Amino acid sequence: MTDMANETDITVEVHSQEDIITARQSGRELARQSGFGTVDQTRLATVISELVRNALVYAGGGTCRIYSDISDSQRTLHLVVSDEGPGIVDVPRALEPGFSSGGGLGLGLPAVRRLMDDMTIDTHPTGTVIHARMTRKR
Ordered per-residue pLDDT tens for the chain, 138 residues:
333 334 589 999 999 999 999 999 999 999 999 999 999 999 999 999 999 999 999 999 999 999 999 999 999 999 999 999 999 988 998 888 776 665 554 458 988 999 999 999 999 999 999 999 999 998
Q: Is residue 82 part of a domain?
A: yes
**Sign of the alpha-carbon torsion through 129, 61, 64, 52:** positive
From residue 1, alpha-carbon distances to 5, 49, 53, 125 in Å are 12, 18, 20, 32
What pLDDT sits at residue 94? Answer: 86
Residue 133 in domain: yes
**CATH number where 103 lies:** 3.30.565.10
Position 65 scores a pLDDT of: 98
pLDDT of residue 3: 35
Q: Is residue 46 part of a domain?
A: yes
Strand-strand pairing, 74-83 and 62-70: antiparallel
Asked whether residue 67 is assigned to any structural domain, the reply reads yes
Position 1 in a domain: no
- Per the structure, the complete domain to which residue 28 belongs is given by 9-137
Structural domain count of the chain: 1
pTM of the model: 0.89
Domain assignment present for residue 4? The answer is: no
| Residue-level pLDDT at 6 | 40
